[in-house]
Amino acid sequence: MTESQGAYPQQQSYSAPVHPEWPPPPTYQPATDPAAHKRKRNRGPVALLAAVAIVAAAVGGGTAYAFQQLTGKDTVATSGTSTNVVPSSKRGNVAAIAAAVSPSVVEIQATLSSGSSTGSGVIITGNGEIVTNNHVISGAQSIKVRTSDGKSYTAEVVGTDSSKDLALIRLQGASGLKPAALGNSSGVQVGDTVVAIGSPEGLTGTVTSGIVSALSRDVTVSTDENQGQGQGGDGNWPFQFGGRQFNGDTGSSTTTYKAIQTDASLNPGNSGGALIDASGNVIGINSAMYSSSQQSSSSSDAGSIGLGFAIPVNTVKSDLAKLRAGSKG
């Protein structure tokens, strides 16, 4: 991907209810017969799994993922509050966060009729469901994904939601991948430490850090499948912010979402990658950035100037059921 002016929407997995693996409560009262009670006590594995499910319901996040491994179900690891993906003693340590979360971030290469698009994605299930930006895979004829260990996969689009610039793709023949823990973006505050992981300019696994510089920024993006494509993968996805347009005309069909603003350095190819909190939870999907690198030849104006935007992870979680149902909107 080559450099381009302006904001780079950060390049594009169903919105299921949180913890869909938990069974609904029984519609009858538990048996009180002593013999039945004894029989239940003898069913050790079932009792163990039930206990794990109850604990998962209480604390979410990492426990939900443990339940997934015990039952063999492939469900999203989510957190109602915050989990410690990194040890408490390493909270805020960029190296520890990068080591823990990098295996859950992938590079995406989409082949288009008019060129190619490079972006990033976040693994949310062990069998290869990946959340990314819709603009990363919009109009793609084929999609290739490379994981942090260098393995390559072919991916298919499961569902898209252009109104939120989100998409869900699934790797073919993948298993045993490490899902990211989806945190709670409603608890994010201005000044919080954040880490961004993605593939800017095709540099897989690049890690940058910064803080949350603002919340609830109105970012407007195009919903036209053909808008912003055809520049040979240079990341020129148009968007509007603060009454101005960046990376071209967004056209007449647009949508606006509330974004997390960060000063963590983002560049073309970070689109669809992870914005992570100090505990290692994904709190956003990087989607757009502004750079003045093409507005002036002066070296003082080149590169990221600390205006990046991410789609809050709570928006992603609320949209998963729609994406998993195969929505193509």
- Catalytic sites, residue numbers: 135, 165, 271
The single residue listed with the structure tokens 């039930």 is 50
Question: How crowded is the C-beta side of 261, counted as CA atoms within 13 Å?
Answer: 15
Angle at 87 between CA 81 and CA 91, to 5 degrees: 70
Angle at 282 between CA 276 and CA 283, to 5 degrees: 85
d(CA 259, CA 307): 11
d(CA 277, CA 18): 20
- What Å distances lie between residue 201 and 43, 117, 131, 227, 307, CA to CA? 54, 11, 19, 20, 17
- Axis crossing angle, helix 62-71 with helix 44-59, rounded to the nearest 10: 160
Q: In degrees rounded to 5, what are phi and psi of residue 276?
A: -125, 140
DSSP annotation of 328: B
Sign of the C-alpha dihedral computed for residues 44, 48, 54 and 55 taken in this order: positive
